[in-house]
Structure 1
């Protein structure tokens, strides 16, 4: 596994039939993959859920930031 201080890695993902790219540090990609496995969802489906929550917010951030915040909140329980 890469160091937690690695540069972001860009990946392509399809959300609601639309391709997009997301840049996250490897530690966040690993945590997101783990969350998807635990939820028994494809990674793209979990990202779509996070994206829907992000869009519904009064002042939505970018998708990568929303994913990081979602993972942080999940870790805090």
Structure 2
């Protein structure tokens, strides 16, 4: 499943530059995650980098976007193929 940023976000700006897929962006009030770009860092790192750096632990898995590791890996491969074009 992809990740989601909750209302506890303090807009500290540390998660956005850590995302290898550029899935994190500034929303109207807090940072948000494009679920179609989030691979939980599968293919890049062993753990989601935004979760690692978040000082308030406000980035859980999104229960509305459940994905298996195989699905996340496939999404990663598709994103990398698109980036090569």
Given the two structures, how large is their TM-score scaled by the length of structure 2?
0.31
Q: Which has the higher contact order (CA 8 A, sep 6+)?
A: 2
The structure richer in strand per residue is: 1
Given the two structures, how large is their TM-score scaled by the length of structure 1?
0.32
The structure richer in helix per residue is: 1
